[in-house]
Structure 1
Amino acid sequence: MLAKPLLLLLLLYCAACHTQSLQLINCNATQLQAVRNVTSLTTLRLHNCRLEQQQLKNAIFLRFNQLLSLELEHSQLNSLEDYALHGLARLQHLSLANNNLSLIKAWSEQPLAALTSLDISFNALIRLPAHGFEQYPNLQLLNLSHNRIEHLEPDCFHNLSHLKHLQLHNNHLQLIAASYFHGLHRLSGLGLQHNQLKQVEAASFESNTHLRSLHLEQNLLADLKFLKDAGLTRLVHLNLSRNSLEQLQPSGFSKNFELQALDLSYNKLKELQNNSFIGLESLERINVSHNSLEHIAVDALHPLSAVFQLDLSYNRLKTLPENLLHGNRQLKHIDISNNQLSQLHPGLLQQLTHLTQLNLARNLLNEASWLQRLAPGLNRLALRVDLSSNRLQSLNLSSLLFFEQVQLSDNRWNCSWLVKHMLRTPPTALNFARSWPMLSAWSVQQLLNIRGIDCFDGQQNRSIVLLDVSAARQQTPPDCDCKSSQESNIELYTLTPPLTWPRIRTDRFDSRSVIIWMLAAIALAFAGLRWGQRYMDRKERSKKLKEIQDKQQLIRVEA
């Protein structure tokens, strides 16, 4: 009985939803004027609409006085008449993105007091006039990105005391003057990336004491003196990537004691000094990759006591001080790949008990004995190490057994070491990024797909073919000493195979072919023997079954 009323309520709800929102695509002004029941509309979306002379006429939305959201996008609008938005007293969200607007106006006789979000991105704005947004006193989000703005007039953001997020990225700004953001006391997010900024004047953010996120990447900044402004003391995220920074001023971040994420990648930094990061006790993530770092002072990273992610990749580092990371005991992710490190000091990682990722790929490391000197309290089962593309010739494999994964591809392995260790079953955690089929069935298809392991015998590049003969080892005699066999299996690797295969050069096709055909013949012989044995077993079972049946039949006759 309750199903019908519930169904009726659902239908009424869907009908109400349908009447509250309207989307028109490829429309014109006449069709817009012909829309009925506009008093029930709260959302109106107009995309690719062809309006008269690419202009929005005065009071065109006067009938839509209940609108909360208006989107007029991709319609090639050149301008809006002075009172085009008149009557939209309840409007909260307005988007004029992807048009050709070149001038900002009030566009309403009365203030749009309910408007909290305004999007004018992807237009043709060149400048922002003074008091241009005065009719939107409660605006919280303003998107002016992807325009051609070169200059901001003083007081262009006048009366926007509630503004929280301002997007000015992808414009042509060259200077941030001290007066630009004055009065934006509640501003928490500011996007200035992808401009042409060369200078940020002192006190530019003096009144923005609630600013938490500042994006300045992809500009031309050469110094960071503006970071000492009192307005940036609560900054949490700062992106300075892809600028022209050559050095960091001493104590340049001393005012940013709440900063948690700092990106300095893709600059021209050559060194990190002992006083470069003073004041950043709350920093958790730092990226200094893709610079020209050649030297890092011993105490340069010590102020970063809370950092857990460090990226120093793509630099020119040749050595690292032994005590460099002793003050960063919370480190979890370290990336020092693509440098010129030839060795690591054994004590470099001794204090890091939380380490889970260590990337040292594409360096010049020729040994890894420091892996045996990791912190005693470190959970090695959660540690992933990347040592690929170095110059390692051999490793103490027993020190890598309990790691989650170790990447070892593209090193200069010594052939003798590989013969000694890799002919045995390697630990599953080791990844050499090569396909080494271990053959047990000796099928012809597998034999033809054998691949080798690259190694170096002196300066000569060779390849070793690995074959699995574990099946032969498992065929132990029935009177074997199983206990001693189990004890021997506790060792790091299984026993050395009874057959030792010679090194095979990659260009010795004839020798390899002979070996392959010999193995194929052996495989066929074993297959024939197994088939014969199974045939004899089946014949014997059928014979016994016939005898049992004959006996049962004889018993029935006697009965």
Structure 2
Amino acid sequence: MKSIIWLRIITSAVMSMTAAMGITLKCLEQDYYSRNCTYDGVKMVDLVPNVEFSNNYYTPNYFKFVHSELIEIPKRIFERYPSMTSLNVANSSVKSVSRYTFERASALVLLNMSTNNLQEIQSYVFSGAIQLTVLDLSKNNISSIDEKAFSGLNTLHTLLLSSNRLKILKDNVFSPLGNLQKLSMARNNLEVLEKDLFATNSRMTMLFLHNNQLVVIEQDLFKNVNELEYLWLKNNNLTSLEISISNVKRVNVMNNQLIKIKINTAVQELYLSNNSISEIVVDDFSDLQLKTLDLSWNKISSLDVISKIASLQNLDLSHNKIGPLNLTSFAKLSTLVDLNLEDSQISNLQYGTFSQLTSLQRLDISYNNLNRINFDIFTSSHLMDEIYIEGNRLKDINYEEIQKIFPSLKKISIADNNWNCSYLTKMIRTMNGFKIVVGGFKTETLIADKTNVKGIYCSDDKNPVASWNVTAKHLDKYLNDSVPIVDTSEIKQIMQNAIDDVGRFNEYKVSLINRTDQLEGEIFDLTKKFISLESENYELKKTILDVRLSMLVNASNETVASSDLKKAMQELNELTLAKMKQLENNLEFKIYQQSFKFDKMKESIEETAGKLLVLSKQMAPNAGFYNHLNPTQQELKAASAGSGSSQTVIIIMLVILVAMLTIVLVVIYRNRFSVGPSRGSRFGTSNTLATIVDNDI
């Protein structure tokens, strides 16, 4: 059997001009049985009275003009091809449509006139197209539509009027369209819609009114529209909305000025982000069918109403001021699959708060300044697929057990936290072993020249100031650039990174200081106890020596007395040395006490001096950024230069005085508490009492 191969040949238009016939447009079909005809490069600068069309073989039904410039659609084409069902003249510079253009287009079903230069639609212009079902008039300059413009289009079910210049429509302009199902008037300048505008359009299922200037929607506007399923109202100026349509399923009111919203029981998807909503009203929770609720970027502070919507599957509460969560916040949301709590100021993750979320697959708790996250809290959500915890202040998580808690986890976002590089390396290696993708899927910070692991910023304890050097290098680019700073987003990010680094370093410094103070306090206590023990030991030896002396007084044997006397004298000598050592230790301990107090006072003075120095620098003009200021700011700085310079001089003098005071205190301290020769030189054995007694005996 031989296979039949059809060759696709791009058709073209052949124009010939004769004095008798005018213009003849000839289309070459794609093949013998083709019903398509394309005219390429047709240019009609002026209206041509005689336009003829010719074709080979079968009569085509689908016509298209490409790369053409038409003043208007030649009505002769419908006379030549009365069976035409589709005409596409998009982007053909059509400026007008006459009343008689479509009087012979009785078979036309689809008409595309988008992206042209139409400015108005007059009455009865489509009256001959009695079978038209799709009419595309989008992307023109239409600002006016006559009351009878769509008269005769009883079969029309799709009308596209988007991207025009419509401001107002007459209340019965759509009256002839009894079968209209889809209407788009998006991206116009509509400010108000008459309450009877859709009175006869009971079959309409999709209405797109986004990107207009609507302030209010009349409650009776949709009273006869019982089958509407899609209602798009985003990017308007609406301040209130009460959806009373019985069958509406998807409503988009993003980017408006709503303060309050009342939810209909039939709504399944409701998109309300970027409003000012603080109150949600629901009359009946039992019949509510809402599955998707987007309330991001609003003013929601309470979950009392939302927690009762048991049908929810997707809930977005990001960028609200919710605050601490209650144990009952999500108790009834057992069917919830996607929960977004990004930047919602939640501060507590308690056991039991998420225990009922057994269907949860995606959780976003990023950018909430959480210090600690224990994944055991989400044990009930064993179907978890994605987790976002970036933008917090986390230093560690129980990542070793994450696969046991979430066996289906595929992705986790952990960037922009307080990770240590060594810890982060181990965590990523473990996650990779679990086949979990680790990254920062939201963060776009400047970490190219900073310490990081796979693009995720981390701190290196061995080199805590490395990132500061990078920040200084970035800032130097701006300081040495003569061009004024226009976009400050990058420099803001650089400064924020520097602030974060300084904060982390200060925390580390404070912890070291606390540990040092604790150790010094322990050493002080131990020294005090040691001196106390030495005092007790001295008293004990003294008591023993007294007993021996009393025994010598009663002794009768002179030899024994002489031997015991010598031994007693040696013990007395040792006791004298111990007493002097104790005095020395007491003196050293007092010196240590004074030194400890002096060190604290010195640190306080240095800290104060540092603060004064910083303040003086802040008061002084900033030479680096001064050239980037606009003229107004420069004039203000020049006006205040006199007072600023005097304040700077005063502060510098204060700094010098504090420094001089510090030097004087150091000199006084060294002169007053200097320790003399060592103990060995002061208490040498040649001058001891034991040596003298031994020589005499």
Aligned mate of 2:268, from 277, 281, 284: 284
Q: Residue 79 of structure 1: SS of its match in structure 2?
A: coil
The aligned counterpart of 1:151 is 144
Partner SS state of residue 96, structure 2:
coil
Residue 393 (structure 1) aligned with residue 371 (structure 2)? yes
Distance 1:183 1:333 in 2: 40
Per-residue CA deviation, residues 380-431 of structure 1 (Å, 9 max, x unaligned), is 5x52110011121123331234333322111123x5xx3xx55956557483
Q: Contact 1:210/1:231 (CA < 8 Å) preserved in 2? A: no
Question: In the alignment, residue 252 of structure 2 is paired with which amino acid?
Answer: D
> Is the Cα–Cα contact under 8 Å of residues 122 and 147 in structure 1 kept in the other structure?
yes
Residue 438 (structure 1) aligned with residue 426 (structure 2): yes
Against the structure 1 CA distance between its residues 298 and 102, is the aligned structure 2 distance closer, same or farther, given a 3 Å change threshold? closer
Farther off after superposition, 129-138 or 36-45: 36-45
Deviation at 1:229, TM superposition (A): 3.6
Structure 2: which amino acid aligns with 1:98? N
Tell me which amino acid in the other structure corresponds to 1:61.
Answer: F
Aligned residue for 2:314? 333
Aligned CA distance change for structure 1 residues 461 and 32 (closer, same or farther; 3 Å): farther
How many residues of Structure 1 are paired with residues of Structure 2 in the alignment?
A: 425
Match of 1:314 in 2: 297
Find the partner of 2:342 among 347, 361, 378: 361
Partner of 2:358: 379
Name the CA shift for 1:363/1:78 in 2 (closer, same or farther; >3 Å).
Answer: same
Question: Which of 238, 243, 261 is matched with 1:253 structurally?
Answer: 243
**What residue in structure 1 maps to residue 681 of structure 2?**
none
For residues 467-546 of structure 1, the aligned pairs below 5 Å read: none
Q: Distance in 2 between matches of 1:99 and 1:335?
A: 44
1:268-288 deviation digits (Å, cap 9, x = unpaired) = 11233xxx23xx222110000
Which secondary structure does the structure 1 equivalent of 2:78 belong to?
Answer: coil
Q: Cα offset for 1:32? A: 6.2
Larger relative contact order (CA 8 Å, sep ≥ 6): 1
The percent identity for this pair of structures is 19
Return the letter of the residue paired with 1:270. Answer: I
Report the AA paired with residue 353 of structure 1. S
User: Is the alpha carbon distance of 1:321 and 1:36 closer, same or farther for their aligned partners in structure 2, counting shifts above 3 Å?
Assistant: closer
> Partners of 1:109 and 1:99 in 2: how far apart?
17
* TM-score normalised by the chain length of structure 1: 0.68
Q: Which amino acid aligns with 2:52?
A: I
Cα distance in 1 between the residues matched to 2:365 and 2:105? 60
- Unpaired runs of 5+ residues, structure 1, are 442-447, 464-503, 509-559
Distance, in Å, in 1 between the alignment partners of 2:210 and 2:29 is: 48
Is 386-395 or 132-141 further displaced after alignment?
A: 386-395
> Structure 2: which 5+ residue stretches go unaligned?
18-22, 416-420, 431-450, 468-503, 509-697
1:284 partner amino acid: Q
When residues 379 and 307 of structure 1 are mapped into structure 2, their CA distance, relative to the original with a 3 A threshold, is: same
Q: Offset of 1:344 from its aligned partner?
A: 2.5
Any idea what the Cα deviations from partners look like across 1:18-58, whole Å, max 9, x if unmatched? 5xx75227x645696465689965211123x1434365664
State the alpha-carbon separation in 1 of the partners of residues 165 and 267 from structure 2.
31
Secondary structure of the residue that 1:231 maps to in structure 2?
coil
Confirm or deny: 8 A CA contact 2:131 2:156 kept in the other structure.
yes
Aligned-partner SS, 2:12 = strand
Does residue 60 of structure 1 match 2:52?
yes
* Aligned residue type for 1:322: D
Larger fraction in helix? 2
Structure 2 CA distance, aligned partners of 1:240 and 1:406?
32
Pair 1:93 & 2:86 matched: yes
Match of 1:46 in 2: 39
Check the 8 A contact 1:312/1:336 in 2, yes or no.
yes
CA displacement, residues 450-501 of structure 1 (integer Å, 9 cap, x when unaligned) = 699869xxxx9999xxxxxxxxxxxxxxxxxxxxxxxxxxxxxxxxxxxxxx
Q: RMSD between aligned alpha carbons? A: 3.6
How is 1:336-355 mapped onto 2 (pairs within 5 angstroms)? 336-355=317-336
Q: Does structure 1 retain, via aligned residues, the 8 Å contact 2:42–2:67?
A: no
CA shift, 1:88, in A, is: 1.3
SS in 1 for 2:315: strand
Relative to structure 1, the CA distance from residue 75 to residue 107 in structure 2 (aligned partners, 3 Å threshold; closer, same or farther) is farther
Task: Describe the superposition over 1:90-143 as per-residue Cα deviations: whole angstroms up to 9, x where unpaired.
Answer: 100001110221211356585222110001111111111100001111000000
> 2:79, 2:104 within 8 Å by CA — same for their partners in 1?
no
> What residue is the counterpart of 1:536 in the other structure?
none
8 Å contact from structure 2 (residues 29, 35) kept in 1:
no
Q: 2:204 aligns with which of 211, 215, 223?
A: 211
8 Å CA contact 1:286, 1:309 repeated in 2: yes
Distance in 2 between residues matched to 1:34 and 1:153, nearest whole Å: 36
Query: Distance between the aligned counterparts of 1:215 and 1:356, measured in 2?
Result: 28
Contact 2:28 2:55 survives alignment (8 Å): no
1:125 aligns to 2:113 (yes or no): no
Flag the 1:305–1:110 CA change in 2: closer, same or farther, 3 A.
closer
1:75/1:94 Cα in 2 relative to 1: closer, same or farther (>3 Å)?
same
User: Which of these two proteins has the greater Rg computed from alpha carbons?
Assistant: 2
- 1:230-249 per-residue CA deviation (whole Å, 9 max, x = no partner) reads 3322111000101111122x
Partner of 1:175, secondary structure, is: coil
**SS of 1:437's equivalent?**
helix
Letter in 2 for 1:307: L
* Counterpart code for 2:306: L
- What letter is aligned with 2:326? H
